[in-house]
Amino acid sequence: MNTNTINTPTLTVPARKSLRGKWGKAGAPPKAVKYPRGGFTIGMAIALNPHVCPLTIRTNVDKAIAAKTLVKLSDTTETGKVGRPSFRYMTKAAYDATRNAAKNLKVRKVVTPVVATTPALEAPEAVAV
């Protein structure tokens, strides 16, 4: 028999608001972040998600790049302000679709027809009578 246990009454403490509902864990539930179509910058994603903190959007973009659901494009966008340019991102599905579209684009050789040229016939001059 264990002699080190003490019988204490259990207290029922109401859970914080963040612990209620579907989430059931400490802290705020994760926010869903929508990404713009095509290439976008962090500023465009922030404008599309006004209800989400900008730091959360940056964190989600970094996690999505690590999970390879977003691709960081090699080109950048000028911000119009002092400082470094903004990085551009694109969803992996859209990136693959644009690359495949460029690969599948076949260039057809245009054949120009050869036109035989003849010297221009001069019109007879009008003579005044």
Over its C-alpha atoms, the chain yields an Rg (Å, rounded) of 34
Answer positive or negative: Cα dihedral of 45, 94, 87, 28.
positive
Answer yes or no: CATH 3.30.420.40 is held by domain 38-101. Answer: no
Average pLDDT, the chain: 79
**% helix, strand, coil for the chain, step of 5:** 30, 10, 60
Mean per-residue pLDDT for 7-20? 57
Of 17-31, 82-96, 103-117, least confident by mean pLDDT is 17-31
Of 80 and 57, which is predicted with more confidence? Answer: 57
Task: Return the pLDDT at 53.
Answer: 92
Each residue's pLDDT tens digit, 20-79: 556 667 667 788 899 998 899 999 999 999 999 999 999 999 999 999 999 999 888 877
Band of pLDDT at residue 1, cut at 50, 70 and 90: low
